[in-house]
Amino acid sequence: MSTKTFRGGAHPPERKERSAELPIERVEQVKQVVIPVNQHFGAPIQPLVKVGDSVKRGQKIADSDGRMTCPVHASIAGTVKKIEPRMQPNNVEGLCVVIEPDGSGATEFMSPLDGFACTKEEALARIHEAGIVGMGGAGFPTWVKLAPPPNKPIDVVIANAAECEPYLTIDERVLTEKPGDFVEGMAVVMRLLGVKRGVIGLEENKKHCVAGLEKAVAERARGAAIEIVLLKTKYPQGGEKMLIVAVTGKEVPSGGLPMDVGAVVQNVGTFVAVCEAFRDGKPLIERGFTASGGALESPKNLYVPIGTVIADLVPEVLKVDEAKVRKVIAGGPMMGVPVPNWTFPVQKNTSGVLFLDADEAKAPAEDPCIRCGRCMRACSCRLSPALLNKALEAGDLDLAREIGVLDCIECGTCSFVCPARIQLVQRFRVGKQLLRNKIAKEAKHAGK
Amino acid sequence: MPANSLLLSSSPSAFAGGSTRKVMAAVIVALLPTTVYGIVLYGVPALLVVLTSVATSVLSEWGFRALIRKSVSIGDLSAAVTGLLLALVIPAATPLWMVALGAVFAIVVVKEFFGGVGANPFNPALAGRAMLLMSFPAALTGWTKPFADAVATATPLGVYKTAEQALVQAGSTAADAASGAMAQLLDQLGASDMGGLYWTMFLGNRSGSLGESSILLILVGAALLLALGVIQWIIPVAMIGSVFLGSWALGLDPVLAVLSGGVVLGAFFMATDYSSSPMTPKGKAIFGVGAGLLTVLIRRFGAFPEGVTYGILLMNAITPFLDTLRVKKFGFVPPAKPAKEAAK
């Protein structure tokens, strides 16, 4: 099997060996869950419960009938103690439902649904009702992705099993431990979309998963044509656009979506959640994530109720060396969000929590750009980061737009390779905001 | 839980570990073979030129930045690289005070006045050389013979150009003048045939600027920089290729054209200067071709026998334009042509 890839990229130290061999540990007893009401990309939703209510595990606790929304469910049985803003892993405060367990273990799942026999409408409704969002990071509502407009035919479903972020091994573990559920979820999605071709995009460093996956495809795919494509181990191979171009050779047009090139991409965990939503009627109330980093005594792959507060796992489950920890990240080291403490809850798109020590978390001072061009060759979107940075420094937002600041996926490769350690991505984030403000302002003036 | 002691610096939280200093250190290491060879060829005067140029460059950067109250930057080694490069492109017999003057001009005027490392539009070492050449033409073309203490001579390019011009003035046809000039060159380098001449030129036992003569040792250093990813192949290949083809088109010996003067040193170490050369692949290609062709034109029709310095400096001037020839971004969609659609 030859390996496919995209142009550009970099090779950050993987550090996956620390947790790649560790089976997923299930955490069942938690003293509370703090469930953010809004965990998806899209329009905000409202709580359906009030303080004092007793809720069952799997009961819907927040929803809205708007488009681009996704319901949220209680992940444990218990009593709603508070509904108040708390810090979310994206480092902003958002409304959260705090539930303390009552020990009853009462469960309220949906009834099972045969994903290979139901209608497409039923299948889509099930994925919506189960509150499934993209579990790889963006938290895009899955049901929206699976309901493309009729003028956008989909011809391939791609499972994003690249897991290109260093440290993170949860997808690798899921592929090793639950390949059947993963494949079944993928087959259900392919049937729902009426797509004949399924591709599992796997980075080469997870080659050992191939045998298990092939067996799972033979046993659980119900005849769906799912092939495994090995990808070069290179960051950001798991970027949606990079994955699509590696697998199909097609580039998602600037400003467009994967459906513009006939592709739907879902993360490994998302397919498992789909499988469980049909087979068990279980909404997305639990997820796996990797806890790692040099300031953590032993790294772990954990499976916890959504809303589990990281601090509640310390020190019984996670032994954090408080003297060593220099940076805490929700997610991976390349795109994850640095957080000021670890009192945040695991939400639907939290794939990792890292406790980095001083060696791993450097914040080196910036030097002047020497125009070496490393960022230009590494940029997975071919955006000429050094020139973009220069345009933004000069306040030339029109040039920044022309170069493509809005196309930046913020993967961090340019900042990673920069010998002058210029915080390019951070500057582009600011640049995007300035440009969006300018565009909005101009639109307003044009409207008058 | 530690309060206020955690880093909140924006993602990514991983760094490749490169630095300006490491890049510059690699360039210095890559230049060592040809520098040492230059000292072997020309002895103590060459060593003094190198030391004077490097020391003056570093000191003048430190001094100037202290004067304008900017942070100390000599630790990034870029001043040392400029100093070393300047030493390599001037004759070993250049008076040391001129060397120092060239270094001060390169660092203070060409580099720091424009904002320091990464901001200079022109290659500081070459601009320093150009300034010296304009100010002190005799000293800057005062070549000495290798392995001979201060015996004056001319460079292969100089020998050829002078001989050819003399023969043309004496009434020879162009073809006769060319063959006569080549005969003189063979004689000067003690080579019996063209193969021997090429070989001598490749190994470097000929007069010229301190660090330009051994093509072999320059290529060793260039290979290191290419392997480390410090420089890219596009500019050197485009420049050397266009010197070869351009010389051939103008009836000059193309192999000799590449091996003589500062073409190879300039192509790998001067034209690839980050600050003053384009970052885009297309820009790099045009830059290399332009520098190569200008070199040939200056050599053939200009007043000087050698044209690498001005070839590169002239291309430096259009680098900002060449940088606009960007690679098409991922998923580039050509803008719609409203006029045509309206016509439909």
Q: What is the pLDDT of residues B70-128, one digit of tens each?
A: 999 999 999 999 999 999 999 999 999 999 999 999 999 999 999 999 999 999 999 99
A322 touches B at CB < 8 Å: yes
Number of domains in chain A: 2
Looking at residue B304, what is its pLDDT? Answer: 82
User: Is A313 a domain residue?
Assistant: no
- Gyration radius of chain B over CA positions: 23
Q: Which of B8, B22, B329 is opposite residue A340, by nearest beta carbon?
A: B8
Q: Which of A253, A256, A425 is opposite residue B11, by nearest beta carbon?
A: A425
Task: Give the residue numbers spanning the domain of A126.
Answer: 120-279
Looking at residue A1, what is its pLDDT? Answer: 53
Yes or no, beta carbons of A387 and B326 under 8 Å apart: yes
Amino acid occupying residue A261: V
Looking at residue B338, what is its pLDDT? Answer: 66
| Contact present, A409 and A380 (Cβ < 8 Å) | yes
A256 and A139, same structural domain?
Answer: yes
Predicted model pTM: 0.93
Taking Cα atoms as reference points, which of A362, A292, A361 lies closest to residue A320? A292
Kind of pairing, strands A156-161 and A72-73? unpaired
Interface size between A and B, measured as CB pairs under 8 A: 170
Average pLDDT over chain A, rounded to whole? Answer: 94
What is the C-alpha to C-alpha distance for residues A69 and A55, in angstroms, rounded to an integer? 22
Residue A215 belongs to domain with CATH number: 3.40.50.11540
Residues of B in contact with A384 (CB under 8 A): 279-280, 326-327
| pLDDT over 60 (residue B2) | no
Q: How far off is chain A from B278, nearest CA to CA, in Å?
A: 9
Helix ranges (DSSP H) in B68-145: 78-88, 96-104, 124-135, 137-140
| pLDDT over 70 (residue B251) | yes
Looking at residue B342, what is its pLDDT? Answer: 47
Tell me the mean pLDDT in the region B218-239. 97
**Strand partners of residue A26:** A303
What is the C-alpha to C-alpha distance for residues A426 and A407, in angstroms, rounded to an integer? 14
User: Is A90 a domain residue?
Assistant: no
Looking at residue A279, what is its pLDDT? Answer: 96
Looking at residue B344, what is its pLDDT? Answer: 45
A138 and A246, same structural domain?
Answer: yes
Yes or no, beta carbons of A404 and B18 under 8 Å apart: no
Task: Give residue-wise pLDDT tens across range B290-340.
Answer: 999 999 999 999 888 889 999 999 999 999 999 999 999 999 988 877 665
Length in residues, chain A: 448
A359 CB-contact burial (10 Å; exposed 0-12 / middle 13-18 / buried 19+): exposed
Looking at residue A364, what is its pLDDT? Answer: 83
Looking at residue A77, what is its pLDDT? Answer: 96
Nearest CA in chain B to A370: B118
Q: Residues A4-39, buried b or exposed e (16+ Cβ, 10 A)?
A: bbbebbbebebbbebbbebebeebeebebbbbbbbb
Looking at residue B340, what is its pLDDT? Answer: 53
Q: Which of A99-113, A136-150, A321-335, B61-75 has the lowest mean pLDDT?
A: A136-150
B326 touches A at CB < 8 Å: yes
- Domain finish residue from A279, A296, A313: A279
Looking at residue A235, what is its pLDDT? Answer: 95
User: Is A339 a domain residue?
Assistant: no
Task: Give residue-wise pLDDT tens across range A371-423.
Answer: 999 999 999 999 999 999 999 999 999 999 999 999 999 999 999 999 999 99
B275 touches A at CB < 8 Å: yes
Q: Which of B117, B280, B329 is opposite residue A254, by nearest beta carbon?
A: B329
Tell me the mean pLDDT in the region B184-201. 89
Yes or no, beta carbons of A370 and B326 under 8 Å apart: no
Average pLDDT over chain B, rounded to whole? Answer: 92
User: Is A108 a domain residue?
Assistant: no
pLDDT band for position B223 (50/70/90)?
Answer: very high
pLDDT band for position B343 (50/70/90)?
Answer: very low
CA dihedral A25, A31, A37, A41 (to 10 degrees): -20
| pLDDT over 90 (residue B152) | no
| pLDDT over 70 (residue B3) | no
Tell me the mean pLDDT in the region B266-291. 97
- Domain finish residue from A249, A279, A309: A279
Q: What percent of chain A has pLDDT over 70?
A: 99
pLDDT band for position A290 (50/70/90)?
Answer: very high
| Contact present, A209 and A175 (Cβ < 8 Å) | yes
User: Is A297 a domain residue?
Assistant: no
A274 and A132, same structural domain?
Answer: yes
A254 and A129, same structural domain?
Answer: yes
Nearest CA in chain B to A386: B279
A412 touches B at CB < 8 Å: yes
Domain assignments of chain B as residue spans, ordered by start: 20-140, 156-206, 232-325
Q: Which of A70-84, A352-366, B33-47 has the lowest mean pLDDT?
A: A352-366
Q: Which of B7, B115, B279 is opposite residue A376, by nearest beta carbon?
A: B279
